[in-house]
Chains A and B, each alone.
Chain A
Amino acid sequence: MSLGAFKVLPVILWTDALIFALLAAVLALVWFIRRQPHLRAPWAAVARRPMAMGAALVLAVFVTIGLLDSLHYRERLSDSPPDRPQYSVEVLSAFDALVGKLRTQQEKTYSAPLAMQLYAKEFIERGGATVRAYPRLKYGGAQLKQADARVPDLVRRVILGLAQGLAASLLLFGLLAAWQTRHRGMAFGEWLSVWGTGRLGWPGRTVVLTLALMLMLGTATFHLAAAYHVFGTDKVGQDVLYIALKSIRTGLVIGTLTTLVTLPLAIVLGIAAGYFRGWVDDVIQYAYTVLNSIPGVLLIAASVLIVQVAIEAHPELFDTAAARADIRLLALCLIMGVTSWTGLARLLRGESLKLRTLDYVEAARAFGVSHARIISRHIFPNVFHLVLISIVLDFSGLVLAEAVLSYVGVGVDPSMYSWGNMINGARLELAREPVVWWQLGAAFAFMFTLVLAANLFADGVRDAFDPRTGGRR
């Protein structure tokens, strides 16, 4: 894995650009909030909630993988002339470079998790005779001589991984303790007892335990993945763990970019309908009633097909397959965004209808405050918690919707790694005897973790932003 400056050509896909723009916006927002004490307070309350912080750590791991996977490049072909360099058509990412062999170690077809044999019988030469048996894998457990050495080897690797993870956790904990004791001027034993009873002022116990758990899980997986396929392989022999990890980016892109499309539409139209009433309300209501009465999947399928036809009609616009798949992903986000704003808009309309009759809005009108200012200072901040909750709930919903759409066949490009495509691929094999369950299992585990973490985090955020419960737990 050589990442020399001259050996690669950076590729910026459309979704990459949007993701990093979003990241920059979030960072700018964080910087802004830090300087405003009254905005910082609720976020500080989020940071005091153990459940929210644990979930945030899990989310951070997902986001990091997603961001690494968004740094795309093309490798220079080794035989291309230096003055007129030619680059591989395969678009890789920083994440691919990090996981190294996981991507390239491809078996022939299905193999079970942690197996050393294929899942299908083949005719193989053994001692001169041709027998029908399960052949050994090319990479999975290839270092073992005997089949019965597999279990001890697995145990050894797991224990080694856990021990290393534990050691790393202890090291980090020691550093944390050293910093904290200096910072607070406490003795180590005293700090330890305060930490143990969970009275640090921040959820130290949860953070340390979650981190330790994730580190141990990570190192154990690392050691296993070095010699085995942890989640088995798929139909074409590709490592399922690798596919599941690559799918994280797709899930995050769909969850965040779609919300970005949804939000302006929902907020502007929802509040306008509720606040202005009259014909504005009528027009917006008719618009979303009509949109809602068209079956969503049908609309999305039609739009995706149009985009696909457009892509195929203009092959000259895309230099790689990845760029083509990427445009389809972006189009999917746009389409889902345009069709899914109605729920939030309806919620905001109802809330604005209620808020506009409240005395503080009347008081503002008695001062002659303009509509724009009333909306931005009185209505929007009081519906913001609804927006926030629906962002996070929609995020989970969208990640799940992608899986459904890809399963139906109108989701992301079939060449793109996504949990939906994994489930779609596993669908037919579920009827097999014995069943191929690991693709479905891996997709389920990853999706479940991401969505659960997002929902738990959303709960914490909502509670902290609710002024009535903000002070209490």
Chain B
Amino acid sequence: MKPLLVVRDLVTEIGVARVVDGVSFHVVAGETYALLGESGCGKSMTALSLMRLLPDGGRIASGDVRLGETDVLALPERDMRRVRGGRMAMVFQEPMLALNPVLKVGDQIGETLALHQDLGGQAARDAARALLDAVGVPDAARRLDTYPFELSGGLRQRVMIAMALAGEPGLLIADEPTTALDVTIQAQVLDVLRRLRAERRMGMLLITHDLGVVAENADRVGVMYAGELVEEGARDAFFATPQHPYSRMLFEALPRPGDGGRLATIAGQVPRLDGTLRGCRFAPRCPFAIARCRTEPPGWQDFGGQRVRCHLVGTLPAGSVRERVPHIVAEHVPQPLLQVEGLKVHFPIRRGFIQRTVGHVRAVDDVSLAIEAGRTLALVGESGCGKTTVGKALLRLIEPAAGTIVLGGETVTAKNASTLRRQAQMVFQDPFSSLNPRMRVMDILLEGMDALGVGAAVARRDAVTRLLRQVGLPDDAGGRYPHAFSGGQRQRIAIARALAVSPRLVICDEPTSALDVSVQAQILNLLKDLQGELGLAYLFITHNLAVVEYLAHDVAVMYLGRIVEQGPAAGVLRAPRHPYTQALVSAVPRIEPQIGQGVIRLAGDQPSPLDPPTGCPFHPRCPQAGAVCRQTYPGQTELGGGHWVRCHWVAGQA
């Protein structure tokens, strides 16, 4: 079959850096080709080179891109405009940034229709409505007249896809199309993409860092590292036996359920692409590297249907490279550390000239939690469900409206907040905004100790050195500024800052969601080690269920400010009872083929906490909802072993 897109030896340079270096692949109509790799490996630059939309200073140095019979790189800009959107279209990662906020959705789609299909007026409107229907936007006719900010993230991404389809392209490039979305919404969007590809027989180039997304969507996979493709093969073969050490380590770095062992980490970072790179680019980080790897760049080798760029193909040991060193696990003595009863956080809505309070957003509504010393409680939920607010309210960064917090046997009030602050600290999501760029690392670590008067002033400098070693940073890190560190190192600094006051509870607010898989593994290992050494308790706020299974002892699932299911991690995640938890668990893309139960797809989005539905807040999306769910809020149903649910349906079954 004739391929739709053929890329041969593509080289793209930005300044002196060769961000794409000799990449070759092809995409056949009707198939999905996935480009996989960590950030900074050149995936997006490859896509932008195909569209000839490189940023300033970027240029395609050599290579050949053929779309059907057309030589894309030889086209004049005028003809290229017909190709973009018309024959290949792109879906970007951040739908809010890719849509113009001041134009109505219908007009934005109409623009593409006018350009590529010469449609105008009522014809364009009808075509736009048909496109929105095709991407599964409910009530499409009305949505044409809405602005992007009136739509939720999932709907915006569908509108983006509808715009990309407006030119009826043969090739759709999707650059991390679901990274910014919640898992249940991600599942919806990926369904749409799969269906459209089959209906329209499009070729699809899917760019992602998520192995799960690749496993569920791709037909063939190409792994990129440092600007090069290092491995290519059919999905099933690739997932059965990844051949390149880098691919293998990506798998090993993924947290998997029921595995207490350390995660494999890839030491070091992706090399800078501006230097002269000798030998295999992965050699400095590769545990199997031999002398030849450092001097001679490996060529392509065929190995059982896969193509691999590695000298050691076929000689690598089969199976896992994961170190079978278990984490140190502290002796667990049940000892309650944190108990939260009936926590409520309400944000007032003010209107009018004198800012009168007209209502409240119930961001957190009646949440009760308990964490024992040395244990991890994961708080799981989609964005906007109030899980971060719970974390901040516990530290009184946001004043709770009601509820009692008992920490280490002492009730926390506004008066003894400083006692609380020595016992509980927080690690934030984004390591780039959580460190002050104008402060040296040492000053960042000293800040907490100075403010809370921890230890003698002279001993604090030694404490800084100890902390840096504890989190695996070099001793001279203290004198440098945060911008000298990579994302993973910055997160280590943030962890060290929290540890500086020797807390017993650390609230981790999505500490790994901004990091690559291999770096995430490093941070998870570190958190587990610290828990073993120091007996820390974690409140782990996340939406990543794989991390929860790996790290947490207990899980609480939140929906619209309330906990809907809580219990031991294994019980909740393997045998979820609440329909929401079931949907959440089944929506996570898995590497292993799904066995048994079918996938539950939730319809619609999470409602706004401004106007929560009556009765059970989940009933509008719930496949099991009955009349009683619309009227009364369900009580707590105990399922034994500390596992409970709030659901009428489960209560009725019991």
Given contacts A360-B433, A367-B501, contact A373 B451 (CB under 8 A): yes
Query: Is B430 close to A, CB under 8 A?
Result: yes
Given contacts A359-B429, A363-B428, contact A369 B447 (CB under 8 A): yes
Contact indicator A468/B483 (Cβ below 8 Å)? yes
- Of A362, A368, A381, A384, the contact of B421 (CB 8 Å cutoff): A368
Check if B426 sits within 8 Å of A362, measured CB to CB. Answer: yes
Give the residues from 327 to 370 in chain A that come closer than 8 angstroms, CB to CB, to chain B. Answer: 358-360, 362-370
A377 partner residues in chain B, CB cutoff 8 A? 436, 439, 443, 447
**B330-364 interface code vs A (CB 8 A; 1 in, 0 out):** 00000000000000000000000000000000000
Q: How far is the CA of A450 from the CA of B499 in the complex (A)?
A: 52
Q: A38-B481, A362-B428, A363-B428 are in contact. Are A369 and B434 (CB under 8 A)?
A: no
A206 within 8 A of B: no
| B426 interface neighbour in A38, A366, A373, A467, Cβ under 8 Å | A366
Find B397's partner among A362, A370, A373, A381 (CB 8 Å cutoff).
A362
Knowing A366-B421, A366-B425, the reply to whether A360 touches B434 (Cβ < 8 A) is yes
Contacts of B438 on A, CB cut-off 8 Å? 381-382, 384, 467
A235 at the interface (CB under 8 A from B): no
Task: Say whether A367 contacts B451, CB under 8 Å.
Answer: yes
List the A side residues contacting B481 at CB < 8 Å. 38, 467
Measured CA separation A467–B426 after assembly (Å): 26
Separation of A12 and B599 alpha carbons in the complex (Å)? 87
Bound: A368/B443 CA distance, A:
16
Q: Assess whether B530 is interfacial by the CB under 8 Å rule.
A: no
* Total contacts A-B at CB 8 Å: 68
**Which of B440-454 touch A at CB < 8 Å?**
440, 443-444, 447-448, 451-452
Cα separation A452 to B440 with both chains bound (whole Å): 35
Number of A positions contacting B (CB below 8 A): 21
Which B residues lie within 8 Å of A364 (CB)? 447, 451
Query: Which of chain A's residues 367-402 have a Cβ closer than 8 Å to chain B?
Result: 367-370, 373, 377-378, 381-382, 384
> Cα distance A114–B3 when bound, in Å?
80
Please determine whether B447 and A365 come into contact, CB atoms closer than 8 angstroms: no
CB distance from B435 to the nearest CB of A (A): 6
A366, A377, A382, A468, most chain B CB atoms within 10 A: A366
- A366 touching B395 by the CB < 8 A rule? yes
Q: Specify which chain A residues have a CB less than 8 angstroms from the CB of B594 in the assembled complex.
A: none
Report if A360-B435 is in contact (Cβ < 8 Å); known contacts: A368-B417, A467-B483.
Answer: yes
Q: Which residue of A lies closest to B418 (CB)?
A: A368
Produce 1/0 per residue, B470-503, CB < 8 A to A.
Answer: 0000000001010100000000001001100100
The answer to whether A359 touches B430 (Cβ under 8 A) is: yes
- Closest B residue to A355 by CB, please name it: B436
Tell me, in angstroms, the Cα distance from A369 to B450 when the chains sit together: 9
When distances are taken between beta carbons in the complex, the residues of chain B under 8 Å from A467 are 437-438, 481, 483
Tell me if A's interface is mostly helix, strand, loop or mixed: helix
Question: Which residue on B lies nearest to A362, using beta carbons?
Answer: B397
Decide if A365 touches B429 in the complex (CB within 8 Å): no
Q: Say yes or no: B447 contacts A367, CB within 8 Å.
A: yes
* A362, B451: Cβ atoms closer than 8 Å: no
CB distance from B355 to the nearest CB of A (A): 9
**B451's contact among A368, A384, A468, by CB below 8 Å, is which?**
A368
Q: Which of B433, B437, B452 contacts A359 (CB 8 A)?
A: B433
CB-defined contacts of B621 to chain A, threshold 8 Å? none
B461 is an interface residue with CB less than 8 A from chain A: no
CA distance A412 to B418 in the complex (A): 56
In angstroms, Cα B442 to Cα A38, docked, is 12
Q: Does B52 contact A (CB under 8 A)?
A: no
- Complex CA–CA separation, A94 to B518 (angstroms): 69
How far apart sit A369 and B479, CA to CA, in the bound complex (Å)?
A: 22
Q: Collect the chain A residues with CB atoms within 8 Å of residue B418's CB.
A: 368
Least CB distance from B446 to A in Å reads 11
- Give every chain A residue within 8 A of B425 (Cβ-Cβ): 366-367
If A467-B437, A467-B483, A468-B483 touch, whether A363 touches B451 (CB-CB below 8 Å) is: no
| Residues on A with beta carbons closer than 8 Å to the beta carbon of B285 | none
Query: Which residues of the other chain, A, contact B87 by a CB distance below 8 angstroms?
Result: none
**Is B392's CB within 8 Å of the partner chain A?**
yes
In whole Å, how far is B455's beta carbon from the nearest beta carbon of chain A? 14
The CA of A365 and the CA of B397, in the complex, are separated in Å by 7
Q: Which of B428, B429, B436, B497 counts the most chain A CB atoms within 10 A?
A: B436
Question: A365 CA to B452 CA in the complex, in Å?
Answer: 11
CB neighbours (8 Å) of A358 from chain B are 433-434
Minimal Cβ-Cβ distance residue in A for B439: A377
* Nearest CB of chain B from residue A156's CB, rounded to whole Å: 53
| Identity of the chain A residue whose Cβ is nearest the Cβ of B431 in the assembled complex | A359
Which of A359, A381, A382, A468 has a CB less than 8 Å from the CB of B434? A359
A163 to B369, CA, bound (A): 86
Take A366-B395, A367-B421, A368-B418 as given contacts and tell me if A360 and B448 are in contact as well, using a CB distance cutoff of 8 Å: no
Q: Report the Cα distance A30→B429, complex, angstroms.
A: 39
- How far apart sit A363 and B431, CA to CA, in the bound complex (Å)? 12
Give the CA-CA distance A358 to B425 in the complex, in Å.
16
- Give Cα A51 to B398, complex, Å: 48
Q: Distance in Å from the Cβ of B398 to the closest Cβ of chain A?
A: 10
| Chain A proximity of B572: nearest CB distance (Å) | 29
Chain A contacts for B395, CB-based, 8 A:
366
What residues on B are CB-neighbors of A378 within 8 Å? 436, 439
Asked, given contacts A360-B435, A468-B483, whether A367 binds B448 with beta carbons under 8 Å apart, the answer is: yes
Distance in angstroms from A138 CB to nearest chain B CB is 62
> Cα distance A38–B435 when bound, in Å?
17
CB nearest neighbor in B for A384: B438
Residues B497 and A363 in contact, CB atoms below 8 Å apart: yes
Q: Complex formed: what's the CA distance from A365 to B425 in Å?
A: 10
Query: A382 and B451: CB pair below 8 A?
Result: no
Whether A359 contacts B428 in the complex (CB less than 8 A), given A382-B437, A467-B483, comes out as yes
Residues of B377-411 contacting chain A, CB below 8 A: 392, 395, 397
Q: What are 10 sample pairs from A and B whose C-beta atoms fall under 8 A apart? A: A358-B433, A362-B392, A363-B428, A363-B494, A363-B497, A366-B421, A367-B425, A368-B421, A381-B438, A467-B483
The 10 closest A-B CB pairs, nearest first, are A359-B434, A381-B438, A359-B428, A367-B448, A369-B451, A367-B451, A360-B436, A359-B433, A368-B421, A467-B437
7 other A-B residue contacts (CB within 8 Å) besides A367-B452, A382-B437: A359-B434, A360-B433, A360-B434, A363-B497, A366-B395, A368-B452, A369-B447
